Structures are given as structure tokens and as C-alpha cells.
Amino acid sequence: MNVIIYHNPDCGTSRNTLAMIRNAGIEPHLIEYLKTPPTRLLLRQLIDRMGVPVRDVILLDQERR
């Protein structure tokens, strides 16, 4: 299984997700999205594949607290 994680090493949630994937015996391909941001087209493709509205993947400032 190929697993790709768009990762931010400074984010606890991202680190925890990476640990869970590795604990399952999978070594994912990491893309540090702050260093290598996805293109607008790639974001659209990923969201389309997820089958969710764009709003569902946007983190609003009040949700960070």
C-alpha cells in the first residue's frame, strides 16, 4: 500500500498521525507541504478524491484554539 502524508513536523496532530501510520507497519511517503506546497490543481484533485466539500478541509482560525 502506498501512503502519502502531507506533513508538518511542527504540528502535533501531524506527528501523531505519522506515528499511527508507522505503528501500523507502514512507512509513508512524506511531503512537507510548507516546504513543497501543492498546486491548486493537486489540491482540487485531492479534495475531489476525498468526496468532501472544500469547506470540510479548511482549518479556520477559531478551530485552532
Residue-by-residue DSSP string for 11-30: -HHHHHHHHHHHHTT--PEE
Q: Which residue has the cell 479556520?
A: 60
Q: What percent of the chain has pLDDT over 70?
A: 92
Q: What is the pLDDT of residue 60?
A: 77
pLDDT for position 63: 57
Name the residues annotated as catalytic: 11
Backbone phi and psi for residue 32, each to the nearest 5 degrees, phi listed first: -80, 100
pTM: 0.75
Average pLDDT over residues 1-6: 92
Task: Supply 36's cell numbers.
Answer: 513543497
